[in-house]
Amino acid sequence: MTNSVPYSILDISPIPQGFTVTDALRNSLDVAQHAEAWGYTRYWVAEHHNMIGNASSATAVLVGYIAAGTKTIRVGSGGVMLPNHAPLVIAEQFGTLASIYPGRIELGLGRAPGTDQMTARALRRDLMGSDDRFPQDVQELQHYFGPIQEGQAVRAIPGADTEVPIWILGSSLYGAQLAAHLGLPYAFASHFAPEQLLDAMSTYREMFKPSDKLAKPYSAFLMNVVAADTDEEAAHLFTTLQQNVIRMHRNTRGQLPPPIDSLDDFCEPHERATAANALRCSAVGSLQTVRKEMQHWLDLTGANEIIVTGQIFDHQARLRSFEIAAEAAKGLRLNSKV
């Protein structure tokens, strides 16, 4: 029997060249409102800092903005980079959101800083041991979201007893092992770092320990989707993301560039190959092409859910891409690994 596959969106609120942060944030809300109508399960925003092409740095604030403008879709972080923050602050922020929008807020947590080291120091001041404390910080957050215990000195108000759902995010085996150990859902960032995707997914399933939060493993993977009415149009739109990845490797980041007719004049062959490797977990094309690629990666990973992301210069083309992606996802089937 075919099981329906949940499909969701990760957004970094990209700022296209010639546009403003305000434009990017309004576009994100517009995408979320359409996504709700198209049947997407959740809408996540990602924490990045000191990047002039992304407007999602104040993640909790943006989650509140998206939740206020929608009605039913789950809204959360994909993710909050926990080493940048004190767990109590995140508990209060997301506890407040969960109190305003009960049953709709969730918290994905990452271990990376989501920026360069200099900016990371500006965020947290003291980075000594911050990565090493990630497991303890996750458990501290769980404690704050639970019922207040007798004699508990430090409480998250709001936050206590909200039981905000927590996901572990990652791009290596570390996050898979931690999510399995804590019995939490897991999402892999294969949209930019696909190397350990399959190993991480199998590790998570094999090591999973049931918890009071989750009885059996639940995993998702992220993939780039650039969809259009034709394969040729989608390939043209995809050059925006290809340029972005190449510029990242050159350390020349900027705002989201418009698509170009050919990458040959933009980059060297080895740069194009590097981008292709980083972006190999992608579906680029028309409805049938995108559905085929989605199913391929779903079968490879054995994941329970697919989370799509798409950096497309033109907002209307971006909306159309997510609309086609939703239609493609409705035809997916879970495989026997789940």
CATH of the domain at 303: 3.20.20.30
CA-CA distances (angstroms) from residue 173 to 26, 127, 176, 209, 300?
A: 36, 22, 5, 16, 17
Q: Where would I find the H helices in 251-284?
A: 269-278
The whole-angstrom separation of Cα 88 and Cα 101 is: 20
Contact 45, 59 (CB under 8 A): yes
The rounded distance, in Å, linking the Cα atoms of 100 and 270 is 50
pLDDT greater than 90 at residue 5? yes
Q: Are 293 and 285 in contact (CB under 8 A)?
A: yes
Please indicate, yes or no, if residue 312 is contained in any of the structural domains. Answer: yes
CA-CA distance, 220 to 189, in Å (whole number)? 9
What one-letter code names the amino acid at 10? L
The first and second tokens of residue 215, run together, are 């009885």
Structural domain includes residue 203 = yes
Please, which pLDDT band fits residue 1 given cuts at 50, 70 and 90? very low
Q: Judge whether 207 lies within some domain.
A: yes
Indicate whether 259 belongs to any domain: yes
pTM of this structure: 0.93
The span from the CA of 236 to the CA of 259, in Å, is 6
Place of tokens 């497991």: 135
Q: Is 278 within a domain? A: yes
Q: Of residues 296 and 83, which shows the higher confidence score?
A: 296
**Is the model's pLDDT at 125 over the cut of 80?**
no
Residue 178 has pLDDT above 50, yes or no: yes
The domain of 306 spans 7-329
Backbone phi, psi, residue 334, to 5°: -75, 145
**Contacts of residue 236, Cβ cutoff 8 Å, sequence gap at least 6:** 259, 261
Report yes or no on 336 lying in a domain. Answer: no
Span of 27-36, 46-55, 316-325 with lowest mean pLDDT: 46-55
**Structural domain count of the chain:** 1
Decide if 337 is inside a domain. no
Q: Please state, in angstroms and rounded to a whole number, the distance separating the CA atoms of residues 269 and 111.
A: 33
